[in-house]
A and B are shown apart, each in its own frame.
Chain A
């Protein structure tokens, strides 16, 4: 019977373990640094996601979920709503904020001004403008900038409340301290917000004075978040979950989701969601790096481990020691990695120049890094100290991945789509990489390969060891695949989105009036007479039932010009255009017939075309006014497009603002540019985050290649003794690393295509009701593949040199 390990024995074992770590500083440092790099990527990706989320909040007000806009909305209506909400009559709401919004002349240019009641929210937050999530206590306790000598949000807050002061969108190019006239009121700029915003934000009182309007134009509402904890840990991911419905506020008031009222909001959510998905992939790759580092650190001691086991040290005691060591080194790596990740994130979001805007390190980011570093390191050490880790662990992964794939395939939800991506990544690491190693070995075992004996030995060695270093090779493969998948998705998305903007936003200005136009002709005929206006198109909105399913209808002219806005070339006087979400919900395709039922009757109509709709999650049809108006009740003609010849858009916008007070007037050219700017800025960061994932994978591969070359030391010594020079041994090692890089990169292509397909065709439709055309191009695939191969060669440089040096140093004394 094996005697239990006594305390003195444990003390000696601990001493043995610590001395081993101290005597192999390079290997110990490799684990700490590997863990640090993994943690750094997790922390950096998280902090960058948080910052982008805040930036998108500032640009498109994503913090609020609904908007109540009614033509006759008065301050009394708002106070009544607030009273009912506070009494509990209206539930599920976190904040109700009255807003006065409109256009004001600034230096001859009409500029949007949004006035928010900054003291309206019970939690004291005013929004994310300028990063100014300011607690009310601080707002009220804050002193004037003149007294504190400070500028910026904290100093600015009191100014916003007490004098005519506003925050300026960064795109306006203004700075704190500037003074300008908005309409006839002199206002001071006390802060800058957003990145691409070209509008002003101020307190509601300031907006009232500037716009000369007493009643609010809208009420912004924040409904309770579905998964606040998940959102904190994976910023952006819940943007793809269920989208909010309309809110019934009683007394005939109904708040619309922001995503319906503001298409750019939906777009921002799409960006946030895809960023969240990228963060998950980075976490996945980092976890594998940490696992690989911890596993390698324990695996290198198999022989001394076996000696101790032979001496009677219980397996459980050894495992405990290794897991303890994993936790210790994981803690060191997590500490280093958190600092490095913080610095990296600051570099990514702020650039190399010193900035006074210090990126805060959130507790969640630090905790996430610590869990990834310490937890996964302990897991890796545990797995490496089990009896047959090389067989048990991949089989467990493969079984888990297969189960996940099975469950996900049945689920038509976003979680299901993500499950598919995760399962594919796991299968890549646990099954495909080891399998390809075996296939490679079989291919070269037959001896038919046209290469020399020495090279054959080297390739077979890699093929044998691919099964053992499959975690690192798989992680590199997943990182390359993520780069391919995201690259294809982003390219496809941008191409499609840009094309959609070109179609939909024709030259001119779009106006959403605060109330439906009572007499279209009387209201719009004068607009046609404005210089520069070439056409005016009114849009009516109403609710209908489409084959019994609730839907929205937009009434307009059924001519070819309107059809082209939706990617269809023909007039559709009798038919309708149906959005993609509607076609999906109803299961119809172009040429099918649907029954449109309104308040006054119904009729069967043909679906002429299915169009992509980035602004509407539910079914929506575009129909010709003259044919469908007689069927419908309650049509609201509350928006119209003014087509211009392009020369006088600003003047036209200002004229429209004057004619329709309280209306939201948007220049299509600016809207288009704003959307594309936000798109490019976000995905530029996304590509940098993908690069971080790739770097992390390279570090993992470095560990694996070092382990591989260490195992090959005996073979290399033998070759050296037989007369193979150091240079040739280094060349062989490089070829082995090249084979690994090529294997990882080639295996990444199908996975990358699959990830792109799932993101484009499964995730986005489920999350947002639209699909992105899956259009892989060589430009999306080849650069990550080349990068993967180069990364493998780069990761192999140091182990290759070590392999060549080892034979000269060690062979002389230990061999022959």
Chain B
């Protein structure tokens, strides 16, 4: 469902060109987890940006197979999409979980989860999306605002939101980076479980070796 082939990305740094990524390739199937592992500055976040369509690669290709109309799958060449096309791709087929700034502070838990549905005109799936709050253990927090939740609770809400519109891919950037060990383990369990249930692919950027070891595929990046 996700195919990354020979992706490269570079950035001009004054007169010099800085190579952030070179020749990165991997494949990911439905319900699988890929851990992008590497030290700080190795390009983990940049790779997620390329897969999510926030950036365009300077070389290589990013392809995603998604469910189309009448259950017919189709392939999206993310690297070739226009800006507007990447915006639509991101909105419809990708879910995000970040380390910080996951939730809109002015929306309740319930409203944050419904946000991707509204953006995609899928409000008829509200019950299904909100039903995910129970298994994540946050059903009783539905009317609360994010600033009244703990870090772990906020991350679980972010997982519910990332999966609300049934995306093909979930991209998670250090989702447990600011949590203690116990909470980190609980959030990781939730994420794995929910992604597998939804048959989505999960690309996880982390420098946590234990988390990376749980993944089906590990993409190791060097400085």
Taking Cβ atoms with an 8 Å cutoff, the residues of A that contact B are 447, 452-454, 456-458, 460-461, 464, 714-715, 717-719, 721-725, 811-812, 815-816
- B54 near A816 with CB under 8 A, answer yes
- B107 near A718 with CB under 8 A, answer no
Q: Which residues of B contact A454 (CB under 8 A)?
A: 115, 118-119
- B84 near A457 with CB under 8 A, answer no
A–B Cβ pairs within 8 angstroms, 17 of them? A447-B108, A454-B118, A715-B104, A715-B106, A718-B101, A718-B102, A721-B52, A722-B91, A722-B115, A722-B116, A722-B119, A725-B84, A811-B54, A816-B48, A816-B49, A816-B54, A816-B96
Chain A: CB-nearest residue to B103: A718
B3 located at the interface, meaning its Cβ lies under 8 Å from any Cβ of chain A in the complex: no
- List the 6 closest pairs (A to B, CB-CB), nearest first: A723-B91, A460-B106, A457-B106, A723-B90, A461-B106, A453-B118
Q: Interface size for chain B: under 10, 10 to 19, 20 to 34, or 35 or more residues?
A: 20 to 34
Q: Which residues of B contact A453 (CB under 8 A)?
A: 107, 111, 114-115, 118
Q: Which residues of B contact A722 (CB under 8 A)?
A: 90-91, 96, 115-116, 119
Scan residues 99-140 of chain B and give those whose CB is less than 8 A from a CB of chain A.
101-102, 104-108, 111, 114-116, 118-120
Query: Given A452-B118, A722-B90, A723-B88, A812 and B111 touching (CB < 8 A)?
Result: no
B159: min CB distance to chain A, Å: 14
Chain B: CB-nearest residue to A452: B118
Q: Which residues of A contact B173 (CB under 8 A)?
A: 816
Q: Which residues of A contact B119 (CB under 8 A)?
A: 454, 722-724
- B54 near A812 with CB under 8 A, answer yes
Identify 17 new A-B residue pairs, CB closer than 8 A, beyond the known A452-B118, A456-B111: A447-B108, A453-B114, A454-B115, A457-B115, A458-B106, A460-B107, A461-B106, A718-B104, A722-B116, A723-B90, A723-B92, A723-B116, A724-B119, A812-B54, A816-B45, A816-B48, A816-B98
Report which of A447, A715, A721 forms a contact with B90, defined as CB distance below 8 A: A721
B219 located at the interface, meaning its Cβ lies under 8 Å from any Cβ of chain A in the complex: no
Query: Given A453-B114, A454-B115, A816 and B52 touching (CB < 8 A)?
Result: yes
B55 located at the interface, meaning its Cβ lies under 8 Å from any Cβ of chain A in the complex: yes
Q: Which residues of A contact B81 (CB under 8 A)?
A: none
Scan residues 20-54 of chain B and give those whose CB is less than 8 A from a CB of chain A.
45, 48-49, 52, 54
Query: Given A812-B54, A816-B45, A816-B173, A715 and B115 touching (CB < 8 A)?
Result: no
Report which of B55, B107, B171 forms a contact with A812, defined as CB distance below 8 A: B55
- B107 near A457 with CB under 8 A, answer yes
B116: min CB distance to chain A, Å: 6
Q: Which residues of A contact B80 (CB under 8 A)?
A: none
B87 located at the interface, meaning its Cβ lies under 8 Å from any Cβ of chain A in the complex: yes
A463: min CB distance to chain B, Å: 8
Question: A461 to B173, alpha carbons, bound, how many Å?
Answer: 26
Interface secondary structure of A, over-half rule: helix
Q: Which residues of B contact A460 (CB under 8 A)?
A: 106-107
- A812 near B49 with CB under 8 A, answer yes
Q: Considering residues A452, A717, A723, A815, which has the most beta carbons from chain B within 10 angstroms of its beta carbon?
A: A723
Q: Which residues of A contact B116 (CB under 8 A)?
A: 722-723
Q: Which residues of B contact A447 (CB under 8 A)?
A: 108, 111
A439: min CB distance to chain B, Å: 16
Report which of B96, B114, B120 forms a contact with A721, defined as CB distance below 8 A: B96
A440: min CB distance to chain B, Å: 12
Question: A157 to B118, alpha carbons, bound, how many Å?
Answer: 80
A582: min CB distance to chain B, Å: 61
Question: A456 to B107, alpha carbons, bound, how many Å?
Answer: 8
Q: Which residues of A contact B105 (CB under 8 A)?
A: 715
Contact with A along B66-92 (1 / 0, CB 8 A): 000000000000000000100110111
- B87 near A723 with CB under 8 A, answer yes
- A464 near B90 with CB under 8 A, answer no
Question: A413 to B37, alpha carbons, bound, how many Å?
Answer: 77
Query: Given A723-B88, A812-B49, A464 and B171 touching (CB < 8 A)?
Result: no
A108: min CB distance to chain B, Å: 79
Chain B: CB-nearest residue to A808: B83
Q: Which residues of B contact A715 (CB under 8 A)?
A: 104-106
B189: min CB distance to chain A, Å: 23
B177: min CB distance to chain A, Å: 13
Q: Which residues of B contact A464 (CB under 8 A)?
A: 106
Q: Which residues of B contact A815 (CB under 8 A)?
A: 54, 98, 101
Question: A815 to B53, alpha carbons, bound, how many Å?
Answer: 13
Question: A382 to B94, alpha carbons, bound, how many Å?
Answer: 47
Chain A: CB-nearest residue to B117: A453
Question: A147 to B67, alpha carbons, bound, how many Å?
Answer: 98
Q: Which residues of B contact A811 (CB under 8 A)?
A: 54
Scan residues 157-179 of chain B and give those whose CB is less than 8 A from a CB of chain A.
171, 173
Scan residues 167-214 of chain B and give those whose CB is less than 8 A from a CB of chain A.
171, 173
Question: A724 to B115, alpha carbons, bound, how many Å?
Answer: 10
Report which of B87, B101, B108, B120 forms a contact with A725, defined as CB distance below 8 A: B87
Query: Given A457-B107, A464-B106, A714-B101, A816 and B171 touching (CB < 8 A)?
Result: yes
Q: Which residues of A contact B91 (CB under 8 A)?
A: 722-724
Question: A452 to B104, alpha carbons, bound, how many Å?
Answer: 14
Question: A457 to B108, alpha carbons, bound, how many Å?
Answer: 9
Q: Which residues of B contact A456 (CB under 8 A)?
A: 106-107, 111
Q: Which residues of A contact B108 (CB under 8 A)?
A: 447
A136: min CB distance to chain B, Å: 71
